[in-house]
Structure 1
Amino acid sequence: MAERSRTQDYRRVADAVEADIAAGRLRAGDRLPPQRDFARAHAIANSTAARVYGELTRRGLVVGEVGRGTYVRAAGERAFALADPTSAPVDLELSVPAVPEQFPLLADGLARMLRPDVLKATLRPVGAAGTPEARAAAPGVLARPGWRPAAESVLFTGNGRQAIAAALAALVPPGGRLGVEELTYPAVRAIAARLGITLVPLELDADGVRPDAVAAAHRSARLHAIYVQPTLHNPMSFTMPPERRAELADLAETLELDIVEDGVWSHLADDPAPPLAAYAPDRTVFVDSLSKRVAPGLTVGFAVPPARRADAVAQAIRSGAWTAPRFSLEAATGWIQDGTVTRIGNAKRADVKSRQRAVAAALTGFRARTAPDAYMCWWELPDPWRADTFVAAAARRGIAVTPGAAFAVRPASAPNAVRLGLASPPPDVLATALQTLASLARTGPDTDTVS
């Protein structure tokens, strides 16, 4: 019991420091006091202060510099994966869909490639345009209602993040401005930082990014492009209706503004609308990947630029060394051709609905936003919970969740919410974890204990 109390003490102190960082009372670059002084100020032992500093480092909130001290890290550099596999065996941070039937199907497809003659061919390099077989197969998996890309327009990368990076590098110069949803896919923030691109948050409503917000941002200073997720948005799960897509496409034409459309989750949609690429074909780079459809460990990314941007995107793929590994490309092509991708996709569409039933059972009565075909849930926490302390409390129960700040372009103004990734745990483990989190939310932080 005494050991459990000491563990709670150091984590509660770390929670308080994290809350100060989130509220701006401690800012990026601020130096924390020496551990001895910190211990004295908080009436804790020196050894406990050392554990607090270690916990803050593990959470990615501070960095220690030998001979100089411990400093608060910049928000863009913080690690929001707060729990390691040993302390948080239930992963609701990442959302990696997998169904039992996919593994025999994938193994069958790989068996052909392990023949020496085939393997020799698949280990040769390949360019952004892929292979003739890949170009012929890709349109079938990328097609959406009202839109099917031409085979010759498809470019290939190692994964979806690389497709996004190539599109942004081609469309937005260093120092240029990219409009993004105010809550967005966290990797876009990291990509923009590496490319020297300034992100401009765009206000959302229930239908997605607001066209008037795009126009206002462009009036204040030119936007070079916008990045949007119209279908099953991460983290909010909304799907932009056709009317909003048409309005946004018309605005892009009027402002001569390019669009990067991320369709990585759209294959799960029950009734998908035509993509923005169908409404603004000369303005939109459509990006996708097989990571969610198939598996992240052996995947391929796709970029479908308009003809006017094709050379620039292809050049960005080459210069960034983002071309697809030929082995992955050949494997993916085979899985598309033999129907494996379609069969796995159908299984995952059934799986996501069963997981949504667990969400409905656990979170009824809370302000939770999701969709019947979404592998994620956005949960606005009840008072008096704060996202940072809730994340820490969940981690103490072996459950890793992601704070809303991870998705906010301006973390200081992030909603008091967490995102739950629903795809990774087995369904029964997910259901138990959701019930545990719901009970925690009802209990409140003042009585937060771990039995």
Structure 2
Amino acid sequence: MSADETTAPIDMTRTTAPEVPIFREYVERSLAAVAREPDLAGTMLRHRFHGSARDKQVAANWLGRRLGAVPNPARLLMTGGTQNTLMILFSHLAPQGTAIATEKLTYAAIGQLATLGRISVLPVDIDEDGLREDSLEAVCKAHKVGAVYINPTGHNPTTSIMSIERRRRVADVARKYTVPIIEDDVHGHITEDAPPPLASIAPDLTWYLMSVSKCMGIGLRTAYLIAPSEDGLADLLRPIPSVSSWFVPGLSAAVITHLIESGAACEIAGQISSEIAARQDIAQQMLGHLGLMRTHRSSLHVWIDLPPPWTIEAFIQAAAGKSVTLRHPRVFATSGTDIKGHIRASLIAPSTHEGLRRGLRVIADLLAGRA
């Protein structure tokens, strides 16, 4: 290892899929296969819209592994990613006068997307099992809730995995108040022993989102949306037939469909899961003995309880002074939610295991008062 590699700043902010050995080979094969297809010009020169019939059937078969049953492809769209899909869903499900409910700590983009759409966000309390159904019920009683956004499997940022019992109770509350569920299952394909999605418990209420950003690669810019019904999907699409910003890129759709059909997608996701587990082992070695880390074996990050007298700002500044970059957790907080003593540290952002060890060593020393 060069001197530069041992002194370069360590970024511990981003949680994208780690690079794994087979990724390049399989993507090159898929690109070559797409290039040989008779309608390559059509793939590149025309809209793919929300996926071809083949794309949707292949995707339905693949998602069926997670959902427990193959969904009807007529309820499924390929889209250009989670965020633009959420913008469309928010505007459709939460018209003026209603709001989106979500975990009080949630995916960082939710607040930004709601601001762009001028949509209110209502915080719902969470615990070690994720979103609390009693808090959701209180929010539904007090407000006009258009939909509830939930990240139940590998919650960002707390890493919690909602139990099957809690999922059923949350679904019961949503059904009682006729509130649609937007389920973000981005970690579903890389989480060991993940409970069934809410979409398999309450398919009539749930808009199911699965992005390939964690199980393949964020640069593919693709997600899947499964609607509660064909009619519901038609209602979503009717007013925006030409809004192309959320259409799936044709090349990405063709590559991903080939990756799934060839079995490469499952192999890539398997290697990603193994790499995450290896990095979790390093985190346990470096931080586990301090008793301040919340995580699970399939999480791309750890959620750290800062001990007194550390404040978030002081800890981030101290880490930066030792060339480790951390993100302020305020980005995950809904309006009015105060975070006083937690930090999210990505285990994936460092490109190497040695880089990860360097970053975690700095964090461990700061937590233990050795620096």
Q: TM-score, normalised by structure 1?
A: 0.76
What is the SS of the residue equivalent to 1:114? helix
Matched, 1:193 2:115: yes
Q: Which is worse superposed, 376-385 or 164-173? A: 164-173
- After superposition, residues 360-375 of structure 1 pair within 5 angstroms as 360-363=284-287, 364-375=289-300
Taking only the aligned residue pairs, the percentage that are identical comes to 28
Q: Are the equivalent residues in 2 in contact too, given 1:95–1:376 (CA < 8 A)?
A: yes
RMSD of aligned residue pairs (Cα, Å): 2.0
Partner of 1:4: none
Partner of 2:15: 95
Partner of 2:140: 218
Partner AA of 1:151 in structure 2: P
Following superposition, the deviation at residue 128 of structure 1 comes to 4.2
Q: Which is worse superposed, 289-298 or 225-234? A: 289-298
Following superposition, the deviation at residue 230 of structure 1 comes to 1.0
Partner of 1:9: none
Q: Are the equivalent residues in 2 in contact too, given 1:403–1:417 (CA < 8 A)?
A: no
Partner of 1:266: 188
Q: TM-score, normalised by structure 2?
A: 0.91
Cα deviation per residue 1:71-122 (whole Å; 9 max; x = unaligned)?
xxxxxxxxxxxxxxxx973221101222122111111111223348543121
Partner of 1:291: 213
- After superposition, residues 158-177 of structure 1 pair within 5 angstroms as 158-177=80-99
Partner AA of 1:335 in structure 2: L
For residue 413 of structure 1, the aligned residue among 333, 338, 342 is 338
Alignment partners' CA distance in 2, 1:239 and 1:298? 26
- Seen in structure 2, the aligned counterparts of structure 1 residues 412 and 299 have a Cα distance that, compared at 3 Å, is closer
Alignment partners' CA distance in 2, 1:109 and 1:138? 16
Matched, 1:311 2:234: yes
Matched, 1:135 2:56: yes
Alignment partners' CA distance in 1, 2:45 and 2:131? 42
Following superposition, the deviation at residue 265 of structure 1 comes to 0.9
Unaligned runs of 5+ in 2: 1-6
What is the SS of the residue equivalent to 1:296? helix
Following superposition, the deviation at residue 222 of structure 1 comes to 1.4
Alignment partners' CA distance in 2, 1:88 and 1:248? 45
Following superposition, the deviation at residue 164 of structure 1 comes to 2.1
Partner AA of 1:188 in structure 2: I
Partner AA of 1:443 in structure 2: G
Alignment partners' CA distance in 2, 1:298 and 1:178? 28
Cα deviation per residue 1:216-242 (whole Å; 9 max; x = unaligned)?
111111111100011111111111111
Following superposition, the deviation at residue 412 of structure 1 comes to 5.8
Q: Are the equivalent residues in 1 in contact too, given 2:91–2:117 (CA < 8 A)?
A: yes
Partner AA of 1:236 in structure 2: T
Matched, 1:350 2:274: yes
Alignment partners' CA distance in 2, 1:232 and 1:392? 28
Alignment partners' CA distance in 1, 2:43 and 2:365? 51
Q: Which is worse superposed, 294-303 or 346-355? A: 294-303
What is the SS of the residue equivalent to 2:153? coil
Matched, 1:157 2:79: yes
Following superposition, the deviation at residue 366 of structure 1 comes to 3.6
Q: Are the equivalent residues in 2 in contact too, given 1:185–1:407 (CA < 8 A)?
A: yes
Q: Which is worse superposed, 328-337 or 397-406? A: 397-406
What is the SS of the residue equivalent to 2:121? strand
Alignment partners' CA distance in 2, 1:149 and 1:372? 29
Matched, 1:108 2:33: no
Q: Determine which structure has more spread, i.e. the larger CA radius of gyration.
A: 1
Question: Greater relative contact order (Cα 8 A, min sep 6): structure 1 or 2?
Answer: 2
Partner AA of 1:388 in structure 2: E
Following superposition, the deviation at residue 313 of structure 1 comes to 3.0
- Seen in structure 2, the aligned counterparts of structure 1 residues 266 and 318 have a Cα distance that, compared at 3 Å, is farther
